[in-house]
Amino acid sequence: MPHERFHYGSLTEFEQTAARESAWLPLSEDLSTLSRPLTMRNHTLSNRIAIQPMEGADGTLDGSPGELTVRRYERFAAGGAALIWFEAVAVIHEGRANPRQLMLTEHNLDAYKRLVDRIREVGIHANGYAPLIIMQATHSGRYSKPEGAPNPRIAYNNPLYEDTPLPASAILSDGELRQIESAYGTTAALAERAGFDGVDVKACHRYLINELLSAYNRPGEYGGGLPNRARFLFNAMESTRSSLSSNMILTTRLNVYDGFPYPYGFGVKPYAKPEDELTPDLSEPLKVVSELLSRFDLPVIDITIGNPYKNPHVNRPYDAGGYVPDEHPLVGLSRMTQCVSTVQCAFPQLAVIGSAFTYPRQFSPALASGMLYGNHCQMAGFGRMALAYPDFANDILHSGGLDVKKVCLTCGQCAGLLRQGKPAGCVVRDAEYRKVNA
């Protein structure tokens, strides 16, 4: 299928293209559903719009938020989204994705308290409500670069990534994994003291926990069958739960499909025919969600797919960037909506947040509303759009839609900056990022 750039002049044209490509993208022009409140435990969220975690490589070397971090969250808070899923925060220094990735410690706790307070203050001042703030706890695994140079800590060697296998010392031992599990609890306790409303044990995008979910051939306690592959996730959740008081939200951002064949990807069928080896098969991810619900009683889950480094078109559909995917962006988007819907339909009681709503630009509110109307998710999560157009939520909620001159163009430059460890933001729409990256 030839590659097609975004050019749709109307929702009808967008819809017709989706139909031509057999892309499943439920649309609704009635955006009122996005203004419906949502109750999550003892919180009432004012609307159905979430800002997905968006890290910016702009913290200080000790892991505190920097000036640009604070600016980003002030803009997000003023923008009106009812939920801010706060970016990846490392649980240990070795697991930082870059030297400027945030890391919450006893020493910088006050800086986080100030930031969380500031987010609430700005939200109340601008919109009359504070957003719910969930902090994402992470270990970057194979993407660890704590001092700037790659220092991968992997679950297993993977020929899709390594031409030559990494030395055994790069593979985290069972003992090291057990130690890292407990670091999630330590960070979670700090997150509660900082004032966050909840903690996400990040299990996506090929960072450590997500990679373990596909460690089919790893020997020992953390590889082989699903209970072993999911052991770290459940132990880290357990460590987190036991460190939090009962009113704190415990959750995860989970990859339900990696986009790699067996035995290297989660959410695919083992021993599938070559033509089916990349077809999502959510049987195992659904078992994981079921166990998460029964053991940890999650009120909310954030669903995502793909890997931002190796198959970014699966993770965040685009039509201009590092490589030209061999699938239509709407087909990629449709894979995401189907995966999200599969989880929501299997667990109607769970508030599922869908990912990757940015690609349809000015038509993304119609997709968000269509997904909500059909009960395919309960909240729509936007990533890149929030960097380009921080007040997008208020425009959807109060101005009837998005301004085409402000929407994210999905050019991928924000992700490119992050990969280089530079302050990541929208260089197209936000002059501040042109200045700091000049």
Ligand X SMILES: Cc1cc2nc3c(=O)[nH]c(=O)nc-3n(C[C@H](O)[C@H](O)[C@H](O)COP(=O)(O)O)c2cc1C
To ligand X, the closest distance from the beta carbon of 356 in angstroms equals 4
384 binds ligand X (CB under 6 A): yes
CB 1 within 8 A of CB 347: no
Q: Quick one: 75 or 202, whose CB is closer to ligand X? A: 202
Stretch that binds ligand X, among 109-117, 243-251, 281-289, 357-365 (CB under 6 A): 357-365
To ligand X, the closest distance from the beta carbon of 357 in angstroms equals 5
Beta strands in 76-159 (DSSP E): 83-90, 132-138
CA-CA-CA-CA torsion for 278, 284, 289, 295, nearest 10 degrees? Answer: -160
Number of residues that bind ligand X (CB under 6 A): 26
316 binds ligand X (CB under 6 A): yes
To ligand X, the closest distance from the beta carbon of 102 in angstroms equals 9
Chain-centre distance of CA 103, in angstroms?
A: 17
Beta bridge partners of 253: 302
Q: Which of 23, 54, 194, 352 contacts ligand X by CB under 6 A? A: 54
CA-CA-CA-CA torsion for 149, 154, 160, 165, nearest 10 degrees? Answer: 80
**Nearest one of 239, 392, 373 to 381, comparing CA atoms:** 392
To ligand X, the closest distance from the beta carbon of 87 in angstroms equals 4
Q: Quick one: 218 or 419, whose CB is closer to ligand X? A: 419
CB 404 within 8 A of CB 9: no
266 binds ligand X (CB under 6 A): no
87 binds ligand X (CB under 6 A): yes
Q: Quick one: 205 or 229, whose CB is closer to ligand X? A: 205
Sign of the C-alpha dihedral, residues 303, 309, 314, 315? positive
- Rounded CA gap, 256 and 314, in Å? 12
CA distances, 333 to each of 46, 314, 321, 358 (Å): 27, 8, 16, 10
Q: Quick one: 218 or 334, whose CB is closer to ligand X? A: 334
- Rounded CA gap, 253 and 52, in Å? 10
To ligand X, the closest distance from the beta carbon of 367 in angstroms equals 11
* 393 φ/ψ angles, rounded to the nearest 5 degrees: -65, -45
Stretch that binds ligand X, among 140-148, 171-179, 322-330, 349-357 (CB under 6 A): 349-357
To ligand X, the closest distance from the beta carbon of 30 in angstroms equals 22
Q: Which of 27, 155, 305, 385 contacts ligand X by CB under 6 A? A: 385
Peptide bond into 150 cis (omega under 30): no
Q: Which of 23, 78, 88, 397 contacts ligand X by CB under 6 A? A: 88
**Which residues within the stretch 144-203 sit at the binding site for ligand X (CB under 6 A)?**
202
355 binds ligand X (CB under 6 A): yes
What is the enclosing helix (H) or strand (E) of 414?
Answer: helix 413-419
Neighbours of 429 (CB within 10 A): 17
Token look-up 């201009």 returns: 320
CB-closest chain residue to ligand X: 383
To ligand X, the closest distance from the beta carbon of 172 in angstroms equals 20
To ligand X, the closest distance from the beta carbon of 140 in angstroms equals 10
To ligand X, the closest distance from the beta carbon of 125 in angstroms equals 26
304 binds ligand X (CB under 6 A): yes
Radius of gyration of the chain (CA): 20
335 binds ligand X (CB under 6 A): no
Q: Quick one: 168 or 431, whose CB is closer to ligand X? A: 431
SS3 of residue 31 by DSSP? helix
Q: Which of 96, 100, 253, 313 contacts ligand X by CB under 6 A? A: 253
* 44 φ/ψ angles, rounded to the nearest 5 degrees: -115, 115
Contact set with ligand X (CB under 6 A): 52-55, 87-88, 136, 202, 204-205, 253, 304, 316, 355-359, 382-385, 414-415, 418, 424
